[in-house]
Amino acid sequence: MRRLPVFLVVDVSESMAGDNLRSLQEGMERIIRTLRTDPYALETVYLSVIAFAGRARTLSPLVELAAFYPPRLPLGSGTSIGGALTHLMDEIDRNIKRTTAEQKGDFRPLVFLLTDGKSTDDMGAALSRWKQNYANRVNLVAVGIGPHADLQGLSSITENVLRIEAATEQEFKKFIDWISASVSSQSRSVSIGEPAKVNLAKLDDSIMTKIDSITQATAVDEDFVIVTGKCQSIKLPYLMKYERLRQDVATRDFRVDASLYNLVGVYAAERDFEEFSDPRANARTINSDALVGAPGCPHCGAPIAFAVCSCGQVFCVKGAGTATCPGCNSTITMSQADGGFDVTRSRG
């Protein structure tokens, strides 16, 4: 029997922490429940989930719909879209059956690439390989989530680029339902006769926009700031997420435009955070004066999650006094700093 391979390639970088990642986790379960009610999908669809941050990894290998179980989505540092594309191509080479003189191979794979940011790696080599060997035999739909997704970069990969604001939980559910409907539509199409192009469900203009031109795809020059810390007690990482706020600063003599970042939330990460993170050293910093809001530790509940060791490690403390840095294991005496200080800003 010919299979319809469907790959969900999901951004699990730090900027996805919070509502976006939680909605995607719940969304995978919603997709499976919906598709299992469709006899065409049950007969043809095989699903795989690839997660990427600084590195890419297959969380669920290609498996028939009836046997698919949604994996837990991890977190990592970086948004290596080039690495994700390379991993996807390698998975296609390993798992997709090609048509030969003796047998019909799998139907053209359907890929949904979901990201909310900009690539932090060089996409050049991966993009060249993709266009030369895969673009004409894989249906790839790229979805930029939120206002900070690099739609222009996604447009270099595929002509099927969508933007979703995902402002509310209900809107995200509608987006997930659209993915389910698109997979169902494609499974029906291939059951009747393989279509020349991907057969997607009708867009809901209230939540999604089709990107048809480079002008539409120009990315908004705004970003989140993510600061990664580590719990002093249990040594697990956490992420402090700040969103840019444009603000005019004025005095009697002059006016300047300053960028401040408001705290969005603090999120606990697991031990596999480093496995998905970009291993390259990151020298980008931001001054703490630009960050508005100081959370507590989501792991142990310590009231201060923004203590910094001289080695650069951000960690949590309960207050003034001695503490052990979970990065370099030094014993240090904590006190309040006078003025701002620079901290490493994660890749996002």
Residue 277's pLDDT is: 86
d(CA 316, CA 338): 19
Residues with Cβ within 8 Å of residue 27, at least 6 apart in sequence: 172, 173, 175, 176, 179
Alpha helical stretches, state H, the chain: 19-35, 39-44, 81-95, 124-133, 151-155, 169-192, 214-217, 273-276
pTM of the model: 0.82
> Does residue 340 register a pLDDT over 90?
no
The mean per-residue pLDDT over the stretch 67-72 comes to 94
What is the CB neighbour count within 10 angstroms for residue 235? 12
Average pLDDT, the chain: 87
**Cα distance between residue 59 and residue 72, in whole Å:** 8
Question: What is the per-residue pLDDT across 48-64, written as a single tens digit (0 to 9) for each?
Answer: 999 999 999 999 999 99
DSSP H helices, 193-238, are: 214-217
- Phi, psi for residue 84 in degrees, rounded to 5: -65, -40
Dist. CA 210–CA 312, nearest whole Å: 43
Q: How far, in Å, CA of 198 to CA of 4, rounded?
A: 12
CB count in 10 Å sphere of residue 251: 7
153-154-158 Cα angle (round to 5) = 130
Given this model, what pLDDT does residue 250 score? 53
Q: What is the pLDDT of residue 218?
A: 43
Structure tokens at 256: 């300047």
Of 298, 156, 306, the closest CA to residue 238 belongs to 298
Q: What is the CATH number assigned to the segment(s) 4-217?
A: 3.40.50.410
User: What distance in Å separates the CA atoms of residue 226 and residue 278, rounded to the nearest whole number?
Assistant: 14
- Is residue 267 a contact partner of residue 75, using CB atoms and an 8 Å limit? yes
Residue 221 has pLDDT above 60, yes or no: no
Q: What are the boundaries of each domain within the chain?
A: 4-217, 224-344
What whole-number distance in Å separates Cα of residue 279 and Cα of residue 282? 9
pLDDT of residue 285: 82
Q: Which SS3 state, helix, strand or coil, does residue 175 take?
A: helix
User: How large a percentage of the chain has pLDDT more than 90?
Assistant: 58
Helix axes 81-95, 124-133, angle to 10 degrees: 30
